[in-house]
Each structure stands twice: as structure tokens, then as C-alpha cells.
Chain A
Amino acid sequence: MMNTVVSMEQDDPHSAVQGLLPWYARGQLDEADTRDVQEHLLQCAACRAELEAEGPMQAMLSLTATAPEHASVEAGLARMRKHMKAQASPVSRSRWLPWALGLQGCAIAVLLTIVVVQMQVAPPAVYKGLASGEQPAKAEALIMFRADASELSIRAVLQAHGATLVGGPTESGAYLLHLNASPKTLDSLRAESVVTLVESLGPGARR
């Protein structure tokens, strides 16, 4: 229902300009909107009168402002802390929780043991993407890039150093790096401006 009214009013240049006047008066319009408003104002006394009324109207309504007292901010924060505490430990009193955590820890330990043994026994797995038949999965280093680094700049750095990303991003935004046949050192990667961190993985990794 309202949309019908919207489109009807938009056809009216006075409505369109008056709908923009508050932002015009506050200097918050871009060049195109500003030009449109000014061109209309030049030839419309009624809308100029509306603009004249804008300042007093905003000043009048600003009298409704009241800053909250410091005490109410702190009281709100105290309620929030209580709420956060309640949410942070909703099951802390559960009797089964320590047992569950213990069992979970055991399960993780067992799984880790299996994974480590497999890594030592089995040859490194080779993952093949659809477009790249020879991409090795063995990661020798962790690398992180600047948050504002472009894909292009990252690609250029990797190519320049003969490196390949074989995993990631991790939760912290790091990628697993494989160094190809003729790699430069990790130090030279560290010197790249888009790289924020390079860490060798394990004793066998190149430095």
C-alpha cells in the first residue's frame, strides 16, 4: 500500500526535493543530489521556504535530546554483565559435564595418536585439484597476509617465490604453504610487504 504512495510522490519534483532537504541542509548529499536540489530551489519559492524552515525545525526537535545519566549507563552495563555471565556458563552445574569433558579429552588424545602414527608411516598424501594435477599437499610453513592484500598481490608473491598454498585459511587467517622445486628462503617471503607472518612447520622445513 505504501509503495503505491511512494511511487506517486516520487513523480512530483517538490516531494522529491523536500524529501532530501534535511540532508541538504546538513550538507550530507552527494554532488548529483546537491545539484538536483539546487536547480529546483533556484526556481521554486515554496521549496526555498521549506528549506528556510528546516533549520528552526531541527533546532526545535533537538530540544528533545537528553543525555542518559552516568548511573543508568553503568546500571545497564551491570545487567549486561549478569546476562553475559549467565550465558557463558549455562551448563556449569551439570554433573555429567566433567565426565563428558574427560571422555572428550581421551578421544582427542587417541585420535591424535592415530594421526601422528599415520603421518610417520604413510607417504604424504597428494591432493589433486581439478585444474592442477601435481599440487602437493605437504605443507612446510604457515603464512599470513595483510588483511588488505589483494588476491593479485598474493598470487604475485607466491609465484615469485615458487610457493603454493595447500591449505587454509585457518581460524586465525593463516594458510599452509608448500615450497616448490626451486624455492627462495622463508626469510625472503617474510620481507614481502603483503606478508605479515611466515612460520616454518617442523624440523624438516626449509629455512
Chain B
Amino acid sequence: MPSWLRGKEQRKEDVLAPGKAAASSSEQIELALLAGIRKGRRQDFESLYRIYYPRLQRFLAHQMRHAELIDEVLNDTLMVVWQRADSFEGGSKLSTWIFGIAYRKCMKALSRLDLPQDDSETEEQVDPGPGPEQQLGQRELRIRLLEVLGQLSAEHRAVVELCYFHDMAYAEIAQVVGCGAETVKTRMFYARRRLRGLLADLADSAGAQDGESR
């Protein structure tokens, strides 16, 4: 059996199964909180708020990078959950519904700002260039990686984010961003190809700085 196949099977048995069990129970807790929210119970809403704040904050922070807007969109999203909990019909995971609201509000806010969006179909992008002279530390590496993610278009970044950091399958992502599953795969293909190039550039520039500092 080839190593890439063994690796996947290993992950499937050891990681995915327990992960799925945990996701299932956490989903049940979230649904119980939603039932309380439908009855107007504020304490249930606040519990759900605390669960979703970190997840939405991370998603929105990478999508928008405007601190004041992130807070606004995050609370607007969860306000919809509070006010319109009845409109969740259970056809998807609760997280898919909530992230879908967040995504739509985020894209609306971005369009209001009229920010220039990268067109990641244009493959010839400008290299971010070498960074500061000092060797890349952990904090700077994080900043550079955020810059790498920032070079993707908002649509492509959302697909990467939801897959890599929010563990969503492509069908779920299609529901969140409101497009077909094929489009999600295609966005992932382009986003991934772009990321590969940008990360290789980052590694090269870090290596060059490392060499200079010696």
C-alpha cells in the first residue's frame, strides 16, 4: 500500500472518527441552545455566543481585517440567530447556517467598503517581496502568512478558511457561500495553487534573509 494511501487511512481511523463523534455531540449541544433561544432564553443565547465568537472572529478576521467591521459583522450575524432562530429549519448543520449568515454579511460589508479585491484567476500576481531585514520570528511569520492569505480573493479565501480551519466538507462550504459544489472545488484548486506559490516565495525570502544574517 502506498504511503499516501496509508497516511490517509491512518487519519481516517485515528482522527476522523473521534472528531466526528465530538462534532456530533457539540452539534447536539448547540441545537439544544438554539431550542432555548427560540423560547427567548437569553442565557442560552449567551452560551451559543461564547461558542461561536472565536470561530466567527477567526473567519471574519481573515476575511475582512478591519477590526471595527469584524465586531460589527460578528454581532450582526449572531443577532440574526437571536431574532430569527425559527428560520433555521434543520436542513443543514447549525454551524453551516450561522457561517452562511456571517459570509453574506461579510461580503456585503466588503462591498460597502468597495475594497479592491484580488482576482486570483489572474495567476501573474506581484510577489510580496522580501520582508524586514531580520530573520522571521514566530510573530512575523504569522503576519507574513496572513499576508499570503490576504492575497487570495475573498471568495477563494473563504473556501480555504472553511476547509482548513473550520473542518467543513466541500458540500457544507457550498451551502455557506451559496454556490455549487463544483465551484467550491474549483475555487479550492485555484486558491491552493496560488497558496503553494506564495508559500514557496515566503520560504525563499525567509531562507535568503537567514543567509544574509549569517
Contact = CB atoms under 8 A, between A and B. Distances in A.
Interface of A: 1-3, 5-6, 9-10, 15-16, 18-29, 38, 41-42, 48, 50-53, 57-58, 60-68, 72-73, 76-77, 79-80, 83-84, 87
- Residue in A15, A19, A65, A84 with the greatest tally of chain B CB atoms within 10 Å: A19
Contact of B186 (A10, A28, A65, A84): A10
A58 B62 CA distance: 15
A189 B160 CA distance: 53
B121 A5 contact: yes
Interface string B73-92: 01100110011000000000
Contacts of B165: 61-62, 65
Contact of A53 (B141, B183, B196): B196
B149 A80 contact: no
Interface residues of B, number: 51
Contact of B12 (A3, A27, A80): A27
A83 B83 CA distance: 12
Nearest to A79: B75
Given A27-B8, A27-B12, A80-B49, A22 B192 contact: yes
Which one of B15, B145, B148 has the greatest number of beta carbons of chain A within 10 Å? B145
A6 B196 CA distance: 20
B50 A73 contact: yes
A80 B78 contact: yes
Given A21-B192, A76-B74, A83-B75, A64 B149 contact: yes
A15 B8 contact: no
Interface in B128-184: 138, 141-142, 145-146, 148-149, 160, 163-165, 167, 169-170, 182-183
Interchain residue pairs A-B with the least CB separation, the first 3 = A19-B189, A19-B185, A27-B12
A69 B18 CA distance: 27
A16 B75 contact: no
Contacts of B42: 84
Interface-centre pick from A16, A28, A67, A83 (highest chain B CB count, 10 A): A28
Contacts of A24: 8
A7 to B, nearest CB: 9
B71 A79 contact: yes
Contact of A64 (B57, B62, B82): B62
B166 to A, nearest CB: 11
B189 A15 contact: yes
Given A6-B182, A18-B192, A23-B163, A76 B75 contact: yes
Contact of A62 (B11, B82, B164, B192): B164
Nearest to A3: B183
